[in-house]
């Protein structure tokens, strides 16, 4: 890779990790193009990393230990039950939940700081077109064009690199939305009785709420409460493309509040009501599968390559694993042609991407589209159904082979 000109499109989690992977594999002329002008660390909320995946990624050099995190160890499953006096609802199961919760912006910053100064990191640089030819790949911005030997598409689920490689691939709608929100934990004094190491899954017919504490953004002190409310019962916002995170206020927040009041125990509904409009988002849910992670000189990584429903809690982990495997494949190639190394990367990662997407669909069916009224459901508990969806324990991402 020494003399190769390599570009990375996108400077988020996958983009920073890809730049690091190329550098470690020996590339010396690396340029990252990130369309955002501002510091990405100011954005994002909570991101979970399974303890086992964290250990593997730390060993591989893609996660450190300096970013603050909150350790979760348990999950409690709740249902709303009119006969239960507890405002949190009736607890129907508890199981292990070994996840580190990070603030997305802090995790991104740790990774960004690892990217060496020899990498040219261009912000406010949107790639408007990609033309791959036999001898080089050309990236176009609004004002200029640049040729590279290798282009890594780390530009998320609406990737322009993927559009050039596989024009017909697109996100498929799951037919439901998630409402997301975050609030400072001290805005809800009665949350003190909710153990800090425990997350909640509050389940109801055709949907559920996930809630946990996460560290606050850079420069803040005190934790935040992060919640995600999935429901197949709503229609607000369905005109939007799946995967798109929308900062929608007004009607969407009212719909979320109505759903929360109708279906959640009062403690959890209060989270939705206490969320400020600026901290409220709507996300249409979908799946994205690509036929391959590699097409000639174009390589896909992170959400650009495969994007699973957020139930799997593996987006950031998968992006970092993709980078670690790309580094190994390119590093092992030595002086051999890259296309062989890229095929190793493709073979290793497509199976992984397909598995997390399939798992996301199973969770989506079990906990959203086909979810019964768990409070009166005579069958297995939601925790048991969860186990049936995930017999191999792939929640939070598959194992990164040593």
Ligand X SMILES: Cc1cc2nc3c(=O)[nH]c(=O)nc-3n(C[C@H](O)[C@H](O)[C@H](O)COP(=O)(O)OP(=O)(O)OC[C@H]3O[C@@H](n4cnc5c(N)ncnc54)[C@H](O)[C@@H]3O)c2cc1C
Residue 123's nearest CA partner among 249, 237, 11, 262 is 11
Nearer to ligand X, 255 or 323 (CB): 323
The answer to whether 136 and 297 are in contact (CB under 8 A) is yes
CB of 336 to ligand X, least distance (A): 28
Kindly report the length of the chain: 402
CB of 205 to ligand X, least distance (A): 26
Nearer to ligand X, 263 or 313 (CB): 313
- 337 CB-contact burial (10 Å; exposed 0-12 / middle 13-18 / buried 19+): exposed
CA distance 273 to 284: 21
- Tokens found for residue 392: 């191999």
Buried b (16+ CB within 10 A) or exposed e, 187-217: ebeebeebeeebbbbbbbbbbbbbbbbbbbb
CB of 157 to ligand X, least distance (A): 7
Phi first, then psi: give them for residue 371, nearest 5 degrees: -70, 130
Nearer to ligand X, 288 or 385 (CB): 288
Phi first, then psi: give them for residue 74, nearest 5 degrees: -135, 160
Phi first, then psi: give them for residue 296, nearest 5 degrees: 60, -120
Residue nearest to ligand X (CB): 302
Nearer to ligand X, 45 or 88 (CB): 45
Nearer to ligand X, 62 or 268 (CB): 62
CA distance 320 to 316: 6
Residue 79's nearest CA partner among 170, 194, 192, 201 is 201
Which residues of the chain form contacts with ligand X (CB under 6 A)?
9-15, 33-36, 40, 43-47, 104, 126-127, 154-156, 160, 302-304, 315-316, 319
Nearer to ligand X, 123 or 369 (CB): 123
CA distance 310 to 303: 11
CA distance 263 to 180: 16
The answer to whether 271 and 188 are in contact (CB under 8 A) is yes
Nearer to ligand X, 156 or 215 (CB): 156
CB of 310 to ligand X, least distance (A): 7
Residue 10's nearest CA partner among 108, 126, 130, 105 is 126
CB of 334 to ligand X, least distance (A): 28
Nearer to ligand X, 80 or 352 (CB): 352
CB of 107 to ligand X, least distance (A): 9
Number of Cα atoms under 13 Å in the Cβ half of residue 307: 25
CA distance 101 to 166: 34
CB of 212 to ligand X, least distance (A): 12
- Tokens found for residue 90: 């009736």
CB of 224 to ligand X, least distance (A): 11
CB of 379 to ligand X, least distance (A): 31
CB of 49 to ligand X, least distance (A): 10
CA distance 74 to 52: 15
């Amino acid at each position: 890779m020494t003399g190769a000109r390599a570009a990375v499109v996108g400077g988020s989690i996958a983009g920073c990790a890809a730049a690091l992977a190329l550098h470690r594999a020996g590339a010396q002329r690396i340029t990252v193009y990130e369309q955002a002008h501002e510091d990405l660390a100011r954005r994002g909320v909570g991101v979970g990393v399974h303890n086992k995946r964290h250990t593997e990624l730390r060993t591989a050099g893609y996660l450190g230990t300096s970013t603050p995190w909150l350790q979760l160890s348990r999950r409690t499953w709740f249902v709303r039950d009119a006969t239960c006096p507890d405002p949190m609802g009736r607890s129907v199961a508890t199981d292990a939940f070994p996840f580190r919760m990070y603030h997305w912006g802090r995790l991104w910053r740790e990774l960004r700081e690892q990217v060496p100064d020899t990498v040219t990191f261009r912000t406010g640089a949107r790639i408007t077109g990609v033309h791959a030819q036999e001898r080089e790949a050309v990236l176009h911005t609004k004002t200029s064009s640049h040729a590279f030997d290798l282009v890594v598409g780390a530009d998320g689920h609406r990737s322009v690199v993927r559009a050039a490689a596989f024009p017909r691939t697109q996100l498929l709608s799951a037919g439901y939305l998630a409402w997301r929100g975050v609030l400072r934990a001290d805005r809800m004094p009665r949350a003190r009785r909710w153990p800090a190491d425990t997350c909640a899954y509050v389940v109801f017919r055709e949907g559920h709420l996930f809630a946990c504490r996460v560290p606050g953004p850079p420069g803040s002190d005190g934790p935040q409460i992060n919640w995600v409310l999935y429901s197949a019962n709503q229609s607000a916002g369905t005109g939007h493309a799946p995967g798109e995170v929308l900062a929608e206020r007004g009607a969407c927040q009212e719909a979320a509040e109505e759903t929360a009041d109708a279906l959640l125990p009062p403690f959890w509904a209060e989270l939705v009501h206490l969320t400020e409009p600026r901290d409220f988002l709507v996300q249409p849910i979908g799946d994205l599968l690509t036929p391959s992670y590699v097409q000639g000189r174009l390589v896909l990584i992170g959400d650009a390559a495969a994007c699973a429903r957020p139930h799997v809690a593996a987006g950031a982990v998968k992006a970092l694993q993709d980078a670690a495997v790309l580094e190994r494949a390119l590093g092992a190639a030595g002086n051999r042609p890259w296309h062989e190394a890229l095929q190793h990367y493709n073979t290793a990662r497509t199976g992984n991407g397909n598995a997390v997407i399939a798992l996301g669909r199973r969770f989506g069916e079990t906990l959203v589209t086909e979810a019964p009224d768990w409070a009166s459901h005579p069958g297995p508990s939601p925790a048991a159904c969860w186990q049936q969806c995930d017999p191999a324990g792939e929640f939070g991402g598959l194992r990164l082979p040593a």
